[in-house]
Amino acid sequence: MKKFAISNPDIKIYETLVDKINNLTKPKGSLGYLEELALQIGLIQQTLSPTLKHPQNVLFAADHGIVEEGVTLSPKEVTWQQMINFTQGGGGVNFFCRQHNFTLKLVDAGVDHELPYEKGIINMKVRRGTRNYLYEAAMTEEEMELCIERGAAIVRQCYEEGSNILSFGEMGIGNTSSSSIWMHCFTNIPLDKCVGAGAGLNDEGIMHKFKILKKSLENYKGNGAPLDIIRYFGGLEMVMAIGAMLQAAELKMIILVDGFIMTNSILAASKLYPDVLDYAIFAHCGHESGHKLLLEAMNAKPLLDLGLRLGEGTGAICAYPIVDSAVRMINEMETFQKASIIKYF
């Protein structure tokens, strides 16, 4: 499998960054989490004057074999229909990208449909949807490795285009099921606490979903290693996101983490390379029931809590102005000394 060279940001600049932030014309700590963000971004970029360049949202799409078991209200055809809608500018992710000047990259990781690639969708299809993991592994080792390599390739393209901050989104009917299993396996939180309504299941539907996922875990005969769990229960779009996140961390890019599915993807990525989390900013706490518990288990502090559960990267893009404010704070505020103001607390 592709190897990544991911390391913690060098902390030699840490004290100097803290000193600059503490000596801006404000009481120490008065801009709260913005100060923590500025410190994190300064460490990632190894500079006292960080910048945000060419933000892009990479949306990976794929279908899931587990949908055959009735774990979602939505038919799998919605995946390809929404991808076409995105090419026409009519999705939630589209207006957020327009509002915040993000470039949108649409990537077919494994949609069970022939998409109109001439309309701008990037064809990275590994297979037409995963297998049904109630009975067998979702993908082979080779397919998993292809997902990781192709996700990384997309990020290298973004980097070459001048980006230093990326958000990742997903489109894949049934992917909250895969995410719930990853969450359970990687955090040991009881499965029933990890399973939620997804696209709108009622209590009866949630219970059916739970029973199918519980049976899938009972049928699992793998070795329990992170890579095997990723391969056996993952979605093609989720595994491609793992490769993308790991490549972004290697290139020392800022990763804006979206909702339940993408939080599980970076959780899975961290089981392979723990230092990937140093590059992650958690954008929001979504409405999917397990997301809050997952963020707490990861000691992650989300920027927003707006009840969002759309996916697509929408929550991450929505949170971008807060990240921008942190960068503007450290770059545009004067220090007490330069402004000739007595330092106050």
Same domain as 190, residue 311: yes
Same domain as 89, residue 17: no
The reply to whether 4 falls in a domain is no
Same domain as 295, residue 194: yes
Residue numbers of the domain that contains 45: 11-51+329-339
Give the active site residue among 237, 250, 312, 334: 312
The reply to whether 21 falls in a domain is yes
Same domain as 26, residue 67: no
The reply to whether 80 falls in a domain is yes
47: domain CATH number is: 1.10.1610.10
Domain count, the chain: 2
**Is 312 annotated as catalytic?**
yes
Same domain as 94, residue 39: no
The reply to whether 1 falls in a domain is no
Which residue shows structure tokens 């958690």?
Answer: 282
Q: How far apart are CA 292 and CA 302, in angstroms?
A: 9
Same domain as 204, residue 149: yes
Per-residue pLDDT of the chain (345 residues), as tens digits, is: 899 999 999 999 999 999 999 999 999 999 999 999 999 999 999 999 999 999 999 999 999 999 999 999 999 999 999 999 999 999 999 999 999 999 999 999 999 999 999 999 999 999 999 999 999 999 999 999 999 999 999 999 999 999 999 999 999 999 999 999 999 999 999 999 999 887 778 999 999 999 999 999 999 999 999 999 999 999 999 999 999 999 999 999 999 999 999 999 999 999 999 999 999 999 999 988 899 999 999 999 999 999 999 999 999 999 999 999 999 999 999 999 999 999 988
Cα radius of gyration (the chain): 20
CB 276 within 8 A of CB 44: no
> CB within 8 A of 235, min separation 6: which ones?
62, 64, 109, 110, 130, 138, 170, 172, 174, 175, 178
Q: How far apart are CA 274 and CA 267, in angstroms?
A: 9
Q: At residue 226, what are phi and psi to the nearest 5 degrees?
A: -50, -45
The reply to whether 323 falls in a domain is no
Q: How far apart are CA 231 and CA 145, in angstroms?
A: 9
Same domain as 124, residue 36: no
The reply to whether 2 falls in a domain is no
Q: How far apart are CA 236 and CA 246, in angstroms?
A: 16
Same domain as 190, residue 42: no
Same domain as 295, residue 239: yes
130: domain CATH number is: 3.40.50.10210
The reply to whether 5 falls in a domain is no
Same domain as 129, residue 249: yes
Q: What does the angle CA 237 – CA 240 – CA 243 come to, to the nearest 5 degrees?
A: 155
Same domain as 70, residue 35: no
Q: For residue range 69-80, what is the model confidence (pLDDT) as tens digits?
A: 999 999 999 999
Q: Across the chain, how many H-helices and E-strands are there?
A: 14, 6
Same domain as 306, residue 192: yes
Q: For residue range 142-193, what is the model confidence (pLDDT) as tens digits?
A: 999 999 999 999 999 999 999 999 999 999 999 999 999 999 999 999 999 9
The reply to whether 6 falls in a domain is no
